[in-house]
């Protein structure tokens, strides 16, 4: 006769084995989930007037923008980077289609965002096609961007709006557009682009940083004499706060400027701002920053995956120049923590994005804590840069 204790023990063991099997079956497979997100992105309907920018989870709507929007180049860039991961010729064909829609922006002199739009699309394309047309588009775009340069200020004008408030605004984001100028100089052998990029970088280096090596978002200049009128924010919490993505633009921008110039003062600034970012008391343990280091309700503030991704990508490159393992460790930690169920969008969500929890423009209370196209772009770039180290 079987004792009751034996029956009880049998069911305990059976329950344990079933739970182990279930746990093993349901273990999160980040690679599989990412591949699913890539498919969602690649299946997005081709439309020259509807570049996907972000997703509003409350309204359940994709924000779609035309090519003139500063974010338009990221989507084509994402497809190019996915093609680099998959090697699928169909992905390349799709990337070419989306890239072609941006060509007309080479004439758009109403914006400083030529690098984000043109270089993140045609620059990515050029890595896979030694195409003279692509080169010509990059050079023409650099010429258009150069028209916004003011010798007296020593900078490229960023925005044309808020003319009642600003005379000649220059934002830290503008450092990112210098890559287009540096590349155009190499393609064309015209040093004009290089000189403008260096002058802009030097002016930013001189004026944009605080004593702790954090940076302001916006500096407004007097275009007549180059004097600084004000140091403020537009997307950060306050004029004196440290907007997280702005710190990322600074780290990335000066690391990139060092790549082209080998000017050590750029490298030193990139290191200094990276150290500010990495050692800040309000940087969470997982490395995924709040949208602003000085936001008032930390820890109950939205994170910004896009800011972390920009920094993670930059620090892979900065590691290559410095061999400082601290930088590489951050990039690896960030990637490990975003490639999880919390951040990779679920496969049931049929939208052309990969990651959740980026934050856009707090001044408009828009795109806060949502999937945003540039968060995906720098995530993919970090992934590829880490792979290239191996």
Give residues with Cβ within 8 angstroms of 118, minimum separation 6: 73, 102, 105, 106, 137, 138, 141, 180
Instruction: In whole angstroms, give the CA distance from residue 94 to residue 33.
Output: 21
- Distances from the Cα of 53 to the Cα of 66, 101, 153, 226, 259, angstroms: 10, 15, 32, 35, 29
Instruction: In whole angstroms, give the CA distance from residue 10 to residue 135.
Output: 72
Tokens 């790549």 — which residue? 259
Can the peptide bond before residue 41 be classed as cis, meaning omega within 30 degrees of 0? no
Cα end-to-end span (Å), the chain = 63
Short-list 348, 343, 380, CA closest to 358: 343
Measured from the Cβ of residue 10, the count of other Cβ atoms closer than 10 Å reads 11
Instruction: In whole angstroms, give the CA distance from residue 68 to residue 105.
Output: 6
Say whether 74 sits in a helix, a strand or coil: helix
Residues with catalytic function: 113, 173
Instruction: Quickly list DSSP for 46-58.
Output: P-TT-EEEEEETT
Instruction: Quickly list DSSP for 244-265.
Output: HHHHHHHHHHHHHHHHHH--HH
């Amino acid at each position: 006769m079987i004792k009751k204790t034996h029956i009880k023990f049998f069911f305990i063991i059976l329950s344990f084995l079933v739970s182990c099997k279930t746990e093993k079956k349901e273990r999160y497979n980040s690679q599989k989930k990412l591949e699913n997100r890539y498919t969602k992105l690649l299946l997005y309907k081709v439309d020259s007037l509807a570049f996907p920018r972000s997703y509003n989870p409350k309204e359940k709507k994709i924000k779609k923008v035309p090519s003139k929007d500063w974010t338009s180049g990221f989507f084509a860039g994402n497809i190019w980077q996915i093609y680099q991961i998959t090697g699928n010729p169909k992905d390349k064909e799709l990337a070419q289609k989306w890239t072609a829609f941006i060509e007309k922006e080479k004439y758009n002199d109403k914006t400083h965002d030529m690098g984000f739009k043109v270089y993140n699309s045609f620059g990515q394309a050029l890595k896979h096609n030694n195409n003279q047309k692509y080169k010509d588009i990059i050079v023409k775009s650099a010429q258009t961007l150069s028209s916004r340069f003011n010798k007296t200020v020593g900078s490229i004008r960023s925005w044309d709006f808020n003319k009642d408030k600003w005379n000649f605004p220059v934002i830290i984001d503008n450092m990112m557009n210098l890559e287009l100028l540096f590349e155009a100089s190499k393609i064309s052998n015209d040093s004009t682009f290089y000189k403008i990029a260096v002058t802009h970088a030097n002016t930013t280096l001189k004026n944009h940083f605080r004593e702790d090596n954090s940076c302001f978002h916006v500096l407004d200049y007097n275009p007549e004499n180059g004097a600084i009128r004000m140091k403020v924010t537009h997307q950060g919490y306050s004029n004196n706060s440290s907007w997280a993505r702005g710190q990322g633009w600074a780290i990335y921008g000066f690391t990139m400027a060092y790549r082209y110039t080998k000017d050590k003062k750029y490298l030193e600034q990139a290191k200094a701002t990276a150290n500010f970012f990495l050692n800040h008391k309000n940087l969470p343990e997982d490395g995924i920053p709040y949208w602003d280091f000085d936001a008032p309700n930390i820890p109950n503030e939205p994170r910004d995956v896009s800011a972390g991704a920009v920094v993670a990508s930059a620090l892979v490159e900065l590691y290559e120049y410095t061999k400082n393992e601290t930088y590489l460790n951050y990039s690896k930690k960030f990637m490990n923590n975003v490639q999880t169920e919390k951040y990779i969008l679920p496969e049931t969500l049929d939208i052309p994005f990969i990651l959740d929890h980026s934050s856009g423009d707090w001044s408009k209370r828009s795109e806060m804590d949502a999937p945003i196209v540039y968060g995906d772009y720098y995530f993919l770039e970090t992934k590829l840069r880490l792979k290239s180290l191996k």
